[in-house]
Amino acid sequence: MAGMGGQAGNLAQGGFSGAGGGGVVCAIKGDFDGDGTPDCATVSSAKQLSFYKGVGAGGYQATAIVSSLPCWGSLTLPAVADVDGDGRDDIVQTTNQSGLGYDAVLFLGQSNGTFQCPTSESSASFPRGFQPTYLSVTGDFTKDGRKDVFFVAVSGTMGSNQVQWIVFSGMTVGSNQLRMTATSVAFILGTCGAANPTSAQDLDADTNLDVVVSAQICGMGDAINTPQTINVYGNGDGTFHCGGGQTVSRPNPTQQTGMWVCQSDGTYAASN
């Protein structure tokens, strides 16, 4: 570890972020080897994923176990969850490196601290023409006992930005493949709009996991309106419905004024 400089004990600092005077903060945290103690993963500029085994109390072994990641370039805001159900946390990362659209890639945590990389570039794809927004939340949205990853996807086309709720689910233990479930949402955010999930919880106590989304709708002159909270209610199979007559603002000026109003069938409809 020569050249790392200055750290004491068994706290690894190479590759960690947020060290500014208050101790180290792990960039990607999860129990990747399944021993019950949180571990840390980092990615180097050489496209190698490093695993720092957790030793408890927020510490990590200083010596990394390095995986070879021939199909990956970077990890940005990855989701961490045990999506294949083997008791070890995994990493789900979105990417557009195929050039054909946005994909999700699944890296399976292994008991020896390495990660199993997909043999093909993609584990699953977003609907063509749609791209994920920045954040994700995890939880068992399909009620099969395995955690899934929820994204908001937008079309990104000029003047519209249609919205879909996207869930990626694991297939079987040890499989790098994901199943994508999309729910089309009958409203748009406007060109400058944005939306991200902020938490997963059972909002309506029907045992199906729901999602709270924070959305910003385009206002006049492409100004961003005040963020609004959208409750996204799970159907237990990876799809979702709206509820409670909830309304979502329509962007100006392209869609005029008015709201999208949740109908009794769980879909939104425009109302002037």
Chain contacts with Ca ion (rule: CB under 5 A): 31, 33, 35, 37, 39, 54, 82, 84, 86, 88, 90, 140, 142, 144, 146, 148
Of the pair 65, 154, the CB lying nearest Ca ion is at 65
Of the pair 110, 255, the CB lying nearest Ca ion is at 110
Residue 180 near residue 171, CB atoms below 8 Å: no
Q: How far is the CB of 216 from Ca ion (least distance, A)?
A: 29
Task: Residue 240: name the closest of 218, 272, 262 by CA.
Answer: 262
How far is the C-alpha of 8 from the C-alpha of 129, rounded, in Å? Answer: 49
Of the pair 31, 121, the CB lying nearest Ca ion is at 31
Residue 145 near residue 83, CB atoms below 8 Å: no
Of the pair 82, 103, the CB lying nearest Ca ion is at 82
Of the pair 28, 248, the CB lying nearest Ca ion is at 28
Of the pair 103, 140, the CB lying nearest Ca ion is at 140
Q: How far is the CB of 270 from Ca ion (least distance, A)?
A: 33
Q: How far is the CB of 88 from Ca ion (least distance, A)?
A: 4
How far is the C-alpha of 193 from the C-alpha of 78, rounded, in Å? Answer: 22
Task: Residue 65: name the closest of 86, 40, 31 by CA.
Answer: 40
How far is the C-alpha of 178 from the C-alpha of 108, rounded, in Å? Answer: 11
Which amino acid type is present at position 219?
G
Q: How far is the CB of 34 from Ca ion (least distance, A)?
A: 7
Residue 71 near residue 43, CB atoms below 8 Å: no
Residue in the shown chain whose Cβ atom is closest to Ca ion: 142
How far is the C-alpha of 222 from the C-alpha of 4, rounded, in Å? Answer: 47
Residue 156 near residue 130, CB atoms below 8 Å: yes
Place of tokens 């004990």: 9
